[in-house]
Structure 1
Amino acid sequence: MVFLTNTLMKYMPHWWRRSERRSVFFKRVSLFRLTGCFGGVSRNCFRVAINKWTKTMQYKPKYRRMRTQMLQDLYSQRILGAVEEHGLRYELFHSSLTKCGIELNRKSLANLAIYEPKTFASLVDLAKTKFAENGGGEEAIYAKPVNGVITRGML
């Protein structure tokens, strides 16, 4: 790595050589890099840009929490739709998968439901069989194991 700062500073104008001016300039440049995506004056006017940037940093955690919640709701809705398409309730599906020892998060289940429907259908069949095998209550009476699915309880 070559340090050319001193060499290049030899060719700078006299007013640039004072260190406090350089630090102010680089602070402004770094702020303008951060606010470059903003629109209007808030991207290139220092006073407006600093106020806008501090306000943005103040709201960022709130928006991250809101985005996380919205994505969780989206994943749940996708799984719910896919599970109901196969004739099972979401709560029973989730509890049966947990009893089988399959612990997939919402995001991976939603991606399976959309992009790998046959794999998701096999997970639903496994959950149905496990529910018919271990389930308690009225719904377990009417639930029948799916043909071709073997669980450890059946062995």
Structure 2
Amino acid sequence: MPRVKRGTKRSDRRKKILKRASGYFLTKSKLYQAAQEAVERGLKFAYTGRKQKKRQFRSLWIVRIGAAAKLNGLSYSQFISGLKKAGIELDRKVLADIAVNDAAGFTALAQQAKDANAAAKQVA
């Protein structure tokens, strides 16, 4: 029975890791073991970073909406509550975009939110 040769599997695997580590500092981009540790660590940070990005963007949108709502005499929570009562289902990403790029449109939404809040107070 002939002996089993590795072929290119080992070098391919090492090359893949070293290619991912290109641009890393000193031995992290040159030596396989150091590169492997650095790449695994980087992938871990990339994974958590993708989750954090979603949180950070949501809080950015909330800040933008809150600032625009303040200009229209409402707090953020009053504005969101009024929109829900008015039956307007726009997500925060869209609301933030409207707040930044279309002040008149946001003012109209804020007025609807105010009206819905006032109507809810009269009922209660």
TM-score bracket relative to the smaller structure: 0.7 to 0.9
Q: How many residues align?
A: 120
Q: CA deviation at 1:58?
A: 3.2
Measured against aligned partners, the alpha-carbon deviations of 1:75-125 in whole angstroms (never above 9, x if no partner) come to: 111111110011111111101111222122222211111122222111111
2:19 to 10, 30, 33: 33
Q: Which residue of 2 aligns with 1:86?
A: 72
Q: CA deviation at 1:69?
A: 2.4
- Alpha-carbon distance change, 108 to 29 in structure 1, aligned in 2, over 3 angstroms: same
Query: Which shows bigger deviation, 30-39 or 103-112?
Result: 30-39
Structure 1 residue 24 corresponds to structure 2 residue 5: no
Structure 1 residue 55 corresponds to structure 2 residue 41: yes
Structure 1 residue 135 corresponds to structure 2 residue 121: yes
Q: CA deviation at 1:127?
A: 1.0
Which structure dedicates a bigger proportion of its chain to helix? 2
Structure 1 residue 77 corresponds to structure 2 residue 63: yes
| TM-score, reference length from structure 1 | 0.66
- The unaligned stretches of length 5 or more in structure 2 are none
Q: CA deviation at 1:136?
A: 5.4
Bigger RCO of structures 1 and 2 (CA < 8 A, at least 6 apart): 2
Identical aligned residues as a percent:
23
Q: Which has the larger radius of gyration?
A: 1
Q: Which residue of 2 aligns with 1:102?
A: 88
The one-letter code matched in structure 1 to 2:12 is F
RMSD: 2.3
> Which segments of structure 1 move beyond 4 Å, counting only runs of 4 or more?
none
- The unaligned stretches of length 5 or more in structure 1 are 1-17, 138-155
Query: Which shows bigger deviation, 31-40 or 72-81?
Result: 31-40
| TM-score, reference length from structure 2 | 0.80
